A and B are shown apart, each in its own frame.
Chain A
């Protein structure tokens, strides 16, 4: 088995070929992890810069006017679903009293499940994670969501109820 060792060397040949010391290996690994952490920190900073850039160049969107219902079309305590401002943005219109309507985006601000109106508790409820929103202003009453529901601004034009904007 002499070909496993070189003459005059006590180290086996394979150890000589792969001469990585355990201590050195540990140092390298720790340094690599530290490098990775610093790189991740840079990524977080870039993310914050991206949010800053989006904030600086933010333009207030212009919303179209769209008739969503006829005045008196739905009874008190009933709802109507519609899409605003695009076909992908589902909204919910609720008639709270004889002469008061409110409309909100139907997309829960937690994980985008569809919210529905609970007549029993008089609030908007997300069935996925039990998030509750106020029917008066869309504010979070309880549950995991942290942001209020975007409110659809409504206007009465003749006998029509028209959506004129979205208040985030």
Chain B
């Protein structure tokens, strides 16, 4: 969960930087920002899937 939070903080920073750059008239930064944001979202999703699987495994073994 901590790693997801760290990725999310970086993503929030990236969004604000991309918006700032767009409003300043620089449109070249939008593409790399969107790509990195997508990668970070996939990272979050992957971490969540991992946590979910571990969590389900632990809960399953506790029930047994």
Show the binding face of A for B, using Cβ within 8 Å. Answer: 24, 27, 30-31, 33-35, 37-38, 40-42, 44-45, 47-49, 51-52, 54-56, 58, 109, 146-148, 168
Contacts and interface: CB of A to CB of B under 8 A. Distances in A.
Contacts of A168: 24-25
B12 A44 contact: yes
On chain B, which size bracket covers the interface? 20 to 34
Interface of B: 1, 4-5, 7-8, 11-12, 14-15, 18-20, 22-25, 27, 30-31, 33-34, 37-38, 40-41, 44-45, 48, 51-52, 55, 59
A45 B38 contact: yes
Given A44-B8, A51-B34, A52-B31, A33 B1 contact: yes
Contacts of B23: 109, 147
Contact of B34 (A38, A42, A52): A52
Contacts of A38: 4, 41, 44-45, 48
A44 B38 CA distance: 9
Nearest to B13: A44
Nearest to A53: B30
